[in-house]
Amino acid sequence: MSSSAFYVYCIAESVATAQLPAESLPAAIEEDAKLEWVTVNKLAALTSEVPQETYSEERLAAHLTDATWTAIRAMRHETVVEYVAKRATVIPLRFGTIYLERSGIKQMLTEKAREFEELIEHLRGREEWGVNVYCDRAVLLSSITSVSPVLRDLVERAQQAPPGQSYLMQKKIETLKVDESRVAVNRIVDQVEEKLKTQSDEARRLRILNVETTEHGELKAKFAFLVQRSDFEEFRDAAEQLAREHQAAGIRLELTGPWPVYNFIQL
């Protein structure tokens, strides 16, 4: 058995290899390895050799528990894929895609040729953009009586009610602020999704694995959008308009990308 395996980064059309020779690409996942295009007819997979003793299924699982080891190699993987994706239409593969033999890569390209070619055609001229929605809880709570239709109505009624009734209504308003803040965030997140869907070809709402709190507030939603390059300015303008509309409520939108289209392929 060979001591080397083959790490696969992405799949592209073989014509892209002429404009992207392997020696012009960023460093491979292992420092002493060389990148190589494995070509079958119209398709090519970008690969590099890696030691089997490190990248066997069992050993790789153990290495992935080492945060430093994983972060370095995940960054190298991402750097390679992003470099190629900015210059050609690619199908990005997830971190840790390994083949024991070069022949296995060729077999994969042969057996899935039609699927890959159709997917590349679907992705042509498109990029993945991310939108993160953050909420500053303190700002939202301070402005919720104007943001929430329910509380806005209660405030107006309290202002017109007799003193005793007005006092009770004010107490009710304070009690409802937290719940209405939650409702308002969900409503705004849905609005962001629906608006930006109309400016993109596809959309995905991504899972938030851990509660993230940043200088912008608490992360409430993450989206991925598949956007045609020719339509990006309209997409960005729509995102900026949404950000302006909800800024006073403590909502901040963060636009990230372009990224390789990981969230719009299923292999």
Rounded to an integer, the average pLDDT of 33-50 is: 95
Q: What pLDDT, on a 0 to 100 scale, did the predictor assign at position 1?
A: 41
Distances (CA, A) of 186 to 57, 84, 148, 149: 41, 37, 12, 14
Going by C-alpha positions, the residue among 17, 44, 21, 22 that lies closest to residue 34 is 22
Percent of the chain whose pLDDT exceeds 70? 84
Q: How confident is the model at residue 164 (pLDDT cuts 50, 70, 90)?
A: low
Quick: pLDDT tens for 105-125.
999 999 999 999 999 999 999
Q: Is the pLDDT of residue 40 over 90?
A: yes
Q: What pLDDT, on a 0 to 100 scale, did the predictor assign at position 141?
A: 72
Q: How confident is the model at residue 149 (pLDDT cuts 50, 70, 90)?
A: low
Alpha-carbon span 130 to 236, nearest angstrom: 11
Rounded to an integer, the average pLDDT of 195-210 is: 92
Q: Is the pLDDT of residue 33 over 80?
A: yes
Quick: pLDDT tens for 83-96.
999 999 999 999 98
Quick: pLDDT tens for 212-254.
666 777 899 999 999 999 999 999 999 999 999 999 888 999 9
